[in-house]
């Protein structure tokens, strides 16, 4: 039976301000990526999210981004040196590792957030800085990478275990990168359409771009964004569609 992981970006509230549907999504995901305080989240939110994941038996990973609370980490921060990117990623991983240890859980993976990830997908220096930071903190952490992007090459050079990711609710350009959120249609919302799309992705190891181009991609994990207003319905629909197609949902395994 083919197996796929479902991951979700969570812990993105801040103080009294709530974002997403963390409790509901943790019931449906098999791994979660937790904001580490730079683009969203704080120590209390991190602890609460880790505890929810631990109770459900869900894997937790660090979700480092640019220091950009006001812009939710979705604005590029130009001019950073490689060492600065390495430090901001290492800092955030370490923060979640400490919180997870305090809660009796363990960080298993790292996935870059928002603009940091988008830049890294096309910029070798940024991609390598992220990979180097992960390796320096713990070379056993799984690097979650956008399939076919520069993150993959960076992970290979750092000799990190990787999980190749596709997105359930995001549109793809012909080059395999995600459509910019500034463009209409970048984020998908129809739960039924998304569920059918995910099944095809997993079965075919491929995604279909906005122009209909079929792009071959290794598929280890599928992301459903927790801040999508339809996230819970999307996740339920995806899990049901995968089950009906004979595809098991389980955490991704270590794979080079």
Kindly report, residue by residue over 127-178, the tens digit of the pLDDT: 999 999 999 999 999 999 999 999 999 999 999 999 999 999 999 999 988 8
Q: What is the pLDDT of residue 2?
A: 87
Q: What is the pLDDT of residue 200?
A: 96
Q: What is the pLDDT of residue 193?
A: 94
Sorted by where each begins, the domain ranges of the chain are: 3-249
Q: What is the pLDDT of residue 33?
A: 97
Q: Which fold has domain 3-249?
A: TIM Barrel (3.20.20)
Q: What is the pLDDT of residue 218?
A: 93
Q: What is the pLDDT of residue 1?
A: 72
Q: What is the pLDDT of residue 256?
A: 36
Strand partners, 177: none
12 close to 227: Cβ distance less than 8 angstroms: yes
pTM of this prediction? Answer: 0.93
Q: What is the pLDDT of residue 228?
A: 77
Strand partners, 187: 170
239 close to 7: Cβ distance less than 8 angstroms: no
Q: What is the pLDDT of residue 94?
A: 98
49 close to 23: Cβ distance less than 8 angstroms: no
Q: What residue ranges of the chain have pLDDT lower than 70?
A: 253-256
Q: DSSP code of 17?
A: B
> Token pair of 228, please?
């999508």
C-alpha distances out from residue 230 to 194, 201, 202, 208, Å: 11, 20, 21, 21
Task: Determine the Cα–Cα distance for residues 105 and 32; give it in Å rounded to an integer.
Answer: 13
126 close to 116: Cβ distance less than 8 angstroms: yes
Q: What is the pLDDT of residue 255?
A: 42
């Amino acid at each position: 039976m083919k197996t796929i992981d479902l991951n979700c970006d969570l812990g993105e509230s801040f103080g009294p301000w709530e974002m997403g549907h963390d409790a509901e999504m943790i019931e449906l995901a098999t791994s979660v990526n937790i904001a580490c305080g730079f683009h969203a989240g704080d120590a209390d939110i991190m602890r609460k999210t880790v505890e929810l994941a631990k109770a459900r038996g869900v894997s937790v990973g660090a979700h480092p981004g640019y220091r950009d609370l006001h812009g939710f980490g979705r604005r590029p921060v130009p001019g950073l040196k490689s060492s600065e990117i390495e430090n901001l990623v290492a800092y955030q991983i370490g923060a979640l590792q400490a919180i997870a240890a305090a809660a009796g859980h363990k960080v298993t993976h790292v996935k870059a957030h928002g603009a940091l990830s988008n830049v890294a997908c096309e910029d070798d220096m940024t991609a390598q800085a992220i990979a180097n930071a992960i390796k320096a903190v713990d070379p056993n952490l799984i690097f979650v990478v956008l399939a076919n992007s520069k993150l993959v090459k960076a992970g290979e050079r750092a000799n990190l275990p990787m999980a190749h990711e596709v997105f359930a609710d995001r549109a793809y350009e012909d080059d395999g990168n995600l459509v910019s959120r500034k463009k209409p249609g970048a984020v998908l919302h129809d739960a039924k359409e998304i569920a059918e799309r995910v099944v095809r992705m997993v079965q075919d190891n491929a995604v279909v771009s906005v122009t209909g181009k079929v792009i071959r991609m290794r598929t280890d994990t599928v992301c459903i964004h927790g801040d999508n207003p339809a996230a819970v319905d999307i996740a339920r629909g995806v899990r049901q569609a995968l089950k009906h197609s004979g595809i098991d949902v389980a955490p991704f395994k270590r794979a080079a």
